[in-house]
Amino acid sequence: GAVVSQHPSRVICKSGTSVKIECRSLDFQATTMFWYRQFPKQSLMLMATSNEGSKATYEQGVEKDKFLINHASLTLSTLTVTSAHPEDSSFYICSARGTGRSNNEQFFGPGTRLTVL
Amino acid sequence: GENVEQHPSTLSVQEGDSAVIKCTYSDSASNYFPWYKQELGKGPQLIIDIRSNVGEKKDQRIAVTLNKTAKHFSLHITETQPEDSAVYFCAAISQAGTALIFGKGTTLSVSS
């Protein structure tokens, strides 16, 4: 159990376009989802925390108007990178924490590789 | 907030040897310490975790120890195999409902 999926796994887009990444918890309800960004050979950096039905909480330095997060249901959160630029190219990973589980345990998706040309 | 330091950044061992990765944390209120394995191009996979009311936990070839007084915890992999080669991250969480804070990762290479 505790499977988290992401779609797409890879996306290449032109500079200035917007890209939406979906994160789904497949076999549990996720009250909280987290979005991380990972640059090559670096650690995971938390971007924002998303609670179902409420606004996301963004980490310092992360532009909320550029990285739009929606957590409309207990199984789906989306991250939209608006007006993407080459410096937004990165590996985006979501994680989810579910109801009825240890309130610390988190399960990660497989990640989405974004390349902005 | 929480800060997690991880050492070493790279570790090379021969197949069959043991590998140890160490992490320290800053927030004495932290109570959950997971370890993740990440293979190239994939998301992190939880391999073992430990809570602050336990000093040691073992799962086959993998073990984790926690020293709350010193605020450090370690991952021990015995009888390493080439498929153990990956990047390993430690993490800590200080409050329920908050996100994990990750160490910078350790690239483990196991040569046969």
Which pair of structure tokens corresponds to residue A64? 């909320």
Place of tokens 């979501």: A94
Is A34 within 8 Å of chain B by CB? yes
CA-angle at B60, arms to B8 and B103, nearest 5°:
25
CB A59 within 8 A of CB A48: yes
Question: For the segment A23-43, what is each residue's pLDDT rounded down to a tens digit?
Answer: 999 988 888 899 999 999 899
Is B43 within 8 Å of chain A by CB? yes
Beta bridge partners of B13: B110
Question: For the segment A47-95, what is each residue's pLDDT rounded down to a tens digit?
Answer: 999 988 888 999 999 999 999 999 888 899 999 999 999 999 999 999 9
CB B3 within 8 A of CB B98: no
Cβ count near B59 (within 10 Å): 10
- Per-residue pLDDT at A100 exceeds 60: no
Kind of pairing, strands A45-51 and A30-38?
Answer: antiparallel
Give A84→chain B minimum CA distance, Å: 21
Give A40→chain B minimum CA distance, Å: 10
Give B77→chain A minimum CA distance, Å: 21
Q: Which residues of B touch A49 (CB under 8 A)?
A: 98-99
pLDDT band at B78 (very low <50, low <70, confident <90, very high): very high
Task: Judge: B42–A49 Cβ closer than 8 Å, yes or no.
Answer: no
CA–CA distance, B52 with B97 (Å, rounded to integer): 16
CA–CA distance, B52 with A61 (Å, rounded to integer): 31
- Quick one: how far is CA B25 from the chain centroid? 12
Nearest to B89 among A4, A43, A113 (CB): A43
Q: What is the pLDDT of residue A94?
A: 96
Q: Which residues of A45-80 are buried (b: 16+ CB within 10 A; e: fewer)?
A: bbbbbbebeeebbbeeebeeeebbbebeebbbbbbe
Nearest to B43 among A32, A103, A109 (CB): A109
